[in-house]
Chain A
């Protein structure tokens, strides 16, 4: 114990106000989780707004949701969960001191994150082309409405009536706000991982000290969790409306 303390105390990353490296790690893990909880509550506010309006304007939200590309959304879910795996493997490589693997897994995570953003850009451009972006040029034409009513009337549901243009705009406002904020987090994450990949290559991290890799991992997994909820709420939750009983 004394030996490990002395060894830890000599590590360049060891801060003098901690007793041991282990205590420093414990404190910084807690700090990272506190930050993530502020993020959870921040996104929680947007999820609450979404749930309230979906509850009030169900038909309009269903009509808006059915225009989203489910294939692209599902593909992105797979990509993002895959990037969470490669991030976990990166942390594992750091723990076991495999420097080349660490760099490789960080780069792979960045690549998967960039793939997600690329697909998101394609989805956004579709929305722009179809004038589904809220604002003066917003259009939710008779074609979309007819398609929606054809499917929805088969449901014989009393819930499915009264699709209002303004309410559909509200759905798309929330869609862009939530996926946009999520994408911004991914851009920041990719930036952080790029710095880490560069530092890892220079051999900054070792099994004794790899805290930045671990906390970037926590952040990346958190962003994954946000998408795990965004995907069903935006893409899936009203798909059954278009299903004939």
Chain B
């Protein structure tokens, strides 16, 4: 009955990649990139999360229905973050002279 048995070497390759990305994110944190530090840190974290979801959590080998449900979940998370932040981030923008 079982679905796709993921080869062991895939798991080890993903683990090695996650370790390299962890070392990278710690290293980059000490380089001053100004506002881009946050973007780089979150970009690396998102890459790591996607690798975990696709391979450790087997999403890559799951049905289309599971894909849709997972993507819909992250879509709502995106709405929560993006719409909230567009408000809060722009509140301190300079006003036009009156």
Contacts and interface: CB of A to CB of B under 8 A. Distances in A.
A85 interface: yes
B32 to A, nearest CB: 4
B81 A84 contact: no
Interface residues of B, number: 51
A6 interface: no
A30 B66 contact: yes
A222 B19 CA distance: 17
Given A29-B66, A40-B74, A239-B29, A228 B49 contact: yes
Given A74-B22, A237-B41, A240-B33, A47 B81 contact: yes
Given A47-B81, A240-B33, A96 B5 contact: yes
A207 B2 CA distance: 7
Interface in A21-39: 21-22, 25-26, 29-30, 33-34, 36-37
Contacts of A137: none
B26 A74 contact: yes
A84 B56 contact: yes
A30 B72 CA distance: 13
B29 A25 contact: no
Interface residues of A, number: 58
A232 B44 contact: yes
A53 to B, nearest CB: 9
15 contacts: A37-B76, A48-B80, A48-B84, A81-B22, A88-B56, A224-B56, A225-B52, A225-B53, A231-B25, A231-B45, A233-B41, A237-B41, A240-B29, A243-B30, A243-B31
Tell me what chain B mostly uses at the interface: helix, strand, loop, or mixed: helix
B80 A45 contact: yes
Interface string B67-82: 0011011101100110
A30 B49 contact: no
Contact of A81 (B6, B18, B26, B31): B18
A232 B89 contact: no
Contacts of A181: none
Contacts of B2: 95, 207-208
Given A37-B70, A41-B73, A95-B5, A236 B88 contact: no
A242 to B, nearest CB: 8
A170 B31 CA distance: 26
A29 B68 CA distance: 13
A126 to B, nearest CB: 20
A77 interface: yes
A204 B25 CA distance: 41
A26 B63 contact: yes
A218 B84 CA distance: 29
B30 A34 contact: no
A163 interface: no
A195 interface: no
A22 B1 contact: yes
B69 A33 contact: yes
Interface string B1-34: 1110110100110110011001001100111111
B57 A37 contact: no
